[in-house]
Amino acid sequence: MIGILFNPTAQGEKALRFRDRLSALGSGVRILPTRGPGDARVLAAQLARDGLETAVAAGGDGTVNEVLNGLADVTGALDHTRLALIPLGTVNVLAKELGIPHDFDAAWRVIQQGRERRIDLPQATFVGEDGRPETRHFAVLAGAGLSTRAISSVDWALKKRHGQLAYLLAGIRAMRPPHPLITVTCPSLSTAGPLVEIGSGRYFGGRLELFPGTRLDDGRLGVTVVTRLTWATVIGTWIRMALGRIQTSSVRQVIQTDQLHLSCAEPMGFHLDGDGVGCLPASITVRPRAIRIVVP
């Protein structure tokens, strides 16, 4: 049995066009549309408790994150329930990492073929929105600094209509100073910068390579610390990512580690898979090869 957790608001009307196609998949498939934030996590946990073999996250990064956390909430579920993806949202970084096509029919064929791979499961403990410590998993990305300031100012109506344009405009607004320094501490060193991004794979925001050399199954996280924020350094960094030459950046420090701690002397937001979830301080670890995932 396959359960599909479907975000009907992903990329505005785009996901709605797939609803009939999802409903026509036939017997052996349960379709569970989500109704709001956090719903996919609850539904994924229920699918795991019901013993379903495969839980499909049909949406973007946010949907993937919730489904992954729902499976992780149930003891033993990650061993008996596989994660699969149908990328429908604005961005689905994990799907791009794994080479899962955005075309619905092609993504569904991947699920039907059922080829499986094990990838790492990163975990973060941070200060939740209620001010208390909270622990959550993430699929591919975490971070603080410029990115979290941008996420907090995204126009969500614009995002539904125009996708990544909303993030671009939010990023421009987030460049206004000040830019507090975030301290990154791991077993090998301590450093600081106004932008810190953590990845379990290579990509950031799609196919922009921010963590070269980091693999989804190597038991380590790639950590990029941008040590200086100016328009010139930001634009230069984006160009280098697009060209696959991020290694040449003089304002970027790279760490590969299986554990780290982030802190800031000023209040600082924290994101997981592109959604603001709370604030620093945060501690991050990784469970090697803990996720069973369906791949091409």
Which CATH number characterizes residue 237's domain? 2.60.200.40
In this structure, are residues 136 and 277 in contact, taking their beta carbons and an 8 Å threshold?
Answer: yes
Residue 155 has pLDDT above 90, yes or no: no
**Predicted pLDDT at 264:** 97
Q: Same domain for 218 and 236?
A: yes
151 versus 84: the higher-pLDDT residue is 84
Residue 13 has pLDDT above 90, yes or no: no
Give first-to-last CA distance, the chain, whole Å: 19
Q: Same domain for 144 and 8?
A: no
Q: Same domain for 32 and 86?
A: yes
Would you place residue 28 in the very low, low, confident or very high pLDDT band (cuts 50, 70, 90)?
confident
Q: Same domain for 258 and 127?
A: yes
Give the domain-ending residue among 63, 81, 114. Answer: 114
Q: Same domain for 134 and 259?
A: yes
CB atoms inside a 10 Å sphere around CB 44: 31
Q: Rounded to an integer, what distance in angstroms lies between the CA atom of residue 16 and that of residue 127?
A: 35
- 153 exposure class (CB count in 10 Å sphere: 0-12, 13-18, 19+): middle
Domain count, the chain: 2
In this structure, are residues 93 and 65 in contact, taking their beta carbons and an 8 Å threshold?
Answer: no
- Cα angle: 215, vertex 103, 83; to 5 degrees: 45
Q: Rounded to an integer, what distance in angstroms lies between the CA atom of residue 19 and that of residue 86?
A: 12
CB atoms inside a 10 Å sphere around CB 74: 16
What's the domain range around 185? 122-294
Q: What is the CATH number of the domain that holds 44?
A: 3.40.50.10330
Whole-Å CA distances, 146 to 43, 157, 170, 208, 281: 32, 21, 10, 17, 16
Q: Rounded to an integer, what distance in angstroms lies between the CA atom of residue 143 and that of residue 149?
A: 11
**Predicted pLDDT at 223:** 95
Q: Same domain for 267 and 134?
A: yes
Reading phi first (left if > 0) and then psi (alpha if -120 to 50, else beta), residue 206 is in left
Q: Same domain for 86 and 143?
A: no
Residue 30 has pLDDT above 60, yes or no: yes
pTM: predicted TM-score of the whole model, two decimal places? 0.89
244 versus 190: the higher-pLDDT residue is 190
Q: Same domain for 129 and 262?
A: yes
- 237 exposure class (CB count in 10 Å sphere: 0-12, 13-18, 19+): buried
Q: Same domain for 205 and 150?
A: yes
Q: Same domain for 188 and 96?
A: no
Give the domain-ending residue among 114, 149, 180. Answer: 114
Q: Same domain for 144 and 109?
A: no
Give the domain-ending residue among 114, 143, 164. Answer: 114
Q: Provide mean pLDDT across the span 130-159.
A: 83
Q: Same domain for 78 and 20?
A: yes
In this structure, are residues 249 and 238 in contact, taking their beta carbons and an 8 Å threshold?
Answer: no
Backbone angles phi, psi at 138, to 5 degrees: -140, 155
**Predicted pLDDT at 239:** 79
Q: Provide mean pLDDT across the span 175-181.
A: 87
**Predicted pLDDT at 33:** 86
